Amino acid sequence: MDMIYYLFFTHVVLYWATSLFYMNKYKQGVTGNGYVIKNVLINQFLVTPLYWLAFQFYPEPLPWKHVIWQLPAIIVLTDVVFYVFHRLFHWNKTLYNNIHKQHHEFDPPIACAGLYCHPIEHLCVNLSSTVFPMFIVKASLPVALLWTIIPSINVVVSHSNIHGGAHTTHHKYLTCNYGVGGLLMDRMLNTFR
Ligand SMILES: [Zn+2]
Ligand SMILES: [Zn+2]
């Protein structure tokens, strides 16, 4: 299916373009962060393609006009899946110490470290939360592209804001703001800060 190539290319280009923009803006430096860049590239080029197999089972897409309810549904579903797995990775100390701790080496985070994490975390948290909602709502290519653009930029922006922001607060306290986007799950389950 050609869809995955469009989505993958869009994701990689936007992730690095946004990273370079914010790293430059906040003077976060690129040279000392070679290991971060290498880790993210491995996640993108070796781990993300594992998800391509799942696209064999992509459902018959609905016409793009369904975007009106599909996009809000995807945003909510992503928050739910991300919240559940992310909180699990904090709650279980084995998972935290062996996997999620790597992502938390940064406090405050830097732009290009949005996807700096253990490969298992990239599969279970980042990819599952953003990819499966597209399957559930049967997103067409334009909707899937739109949904690739938003989180690819958002993950970088949410890690670049050294002067605050909900996810920067998560990196500081580790006990709040587990979700993404509108943090609906955090608001409902009293972990919003
Ligand atoms: Zn983070
Ligand atoms: Zn975390």
Of the ligands numbered here, which is closest to the C-alpha atom of 174? Answer: 2
Of the ligands numbered here, which is closest to the C-alpha atom of 85? Answer: 2
- Rounded to the nearest angstrom, the distance between the alpha carbon of 23 and the centre of ligand 1 is 16
By three-state DSSP, how is residue 47 classified?
helix
Structure tokens at 98: 């062996």
What is the C-alpha separation between 147 and 137, in angstroms, rounded?
Answer: 12
Give the position of tokens 């732009």.
111
- Rounded to the nearest angstrom, the distance between the alpha carbon of 186 and the centre of ligand 2 is 13
- pLDDT score for 60: 96
What is the C-alpha separation between 52 and 80, in angstroms, rounded?
Answer: 22
What is the C-alpha separation between 174 and 138, in angstroms, rounded?
Answer: 34
Asked if residue 90 lies in contact with residue 96, where contact means CB atoms within 8 angstroms, the answer is: yes
Residues of the chain with pLDDT under 70: 1
- pLDDT score for 33: 86
- Rounded to the nearest angstrom, the distance between the alpha carbon of 63 and the centre of ligand 2 is 36
- pLDDT score for 1: 63
Burial class (CB in 10 A: 0-12, 13-18, 19+), 181: middle
Structure tokens at 143: 């909707």
- Rounded to the nearest angstrom, the distance between the alpha carbon of 169 and the centre of ligand 2 is 10
- pLDDT score for 52: 85
**pLDDT tens track for 135-187:** 999 999 999 999 999 999 999 999 997 777 999 999 999 999 999 988 999 99
